Amino acid sequence: MITKQKLCILSAVLCMAGVFLQPSGMITDKAGAAATVTIGYYNDVPEFQSGASDDERKSGYAYEYCQILSGYTGWSYEYKYGTFDEMLAALKKGDVDLVAGISGSFDPGSDAGRIRLTPYRIGTENSTVADLPGADNDNYFIAVSADRPELFSALLEAQKQINEKEPALCERLTQKYF
């Protein structure tokens, strides 16, 4: 027969196991559900992101990368649509949580405190000019609204895990879409 004391101990152990067994990058809302992240979705470059409404099928490099990210973070996504410039402005205002495909040479100017770029690249634009001395390839990153530091932390952890478990992911996506 289970005593009240054993039941309390068992309950405490199960609660602790639930805390420690949660995936490390998983962000949840106050009700315990996985976070919904708003993506600034532009389709200026169809190979990168396509499907400019909720009714259209989505595909492309960044779309697939974000789907892989959700496997590490538990995030679900909602989308706001527009041009790249519109989505960048929405990110700076905090109207969207993240935008993929921000150039490493991007200069946020006076809005530097409004967005954060992850240090993990999600792609590289190769150019024949890059073969010239002093010219570089341009790396691309995910930018997160400064209003969502918890998403930035979870994104960093997820990208770290992706780089460890799937180190050729960016190259595979490049071959698939470009």
Distance CA 25, CA 68 (A): 13
Percentage above 90 pLDDT, the chain: 51
Question: What local confidence, expressed as pLDDT, does residue 6 receive?
Answer: 41
CATH topology of domain 26-177: D-Maltodextrin-Binding Protein; domain 2 (3.40.190)
Q: Which residue has the tokens 């209003």?
A: 147
Quick: pLDDT tens for 87-105. Answer: 999 999 999 999 998 887 7
Question: What local confidence, expressed as pLDDT, does residue 133 receive?
Answer: 53
Quick: pLDDT tens for 46-62. Answer: 888 999 899 999 999 99
Domain spans, the chain: 26-177
C-alpha angle 153/30/151, rounded to 5°? 15
- Our CA dihedral for 102, 172, 68, 124, rounded to 10 degrees, sits at -10
Reply yes or no on whether the pLDDT at 85 is more than 50.
yes
Rounded to two decimals, the pTM is 0.74
Reply yes or no on whether the pLDDT at 35 is more than 80.
yes
Q: Which residue has the tokens 């932390």?
A: 153
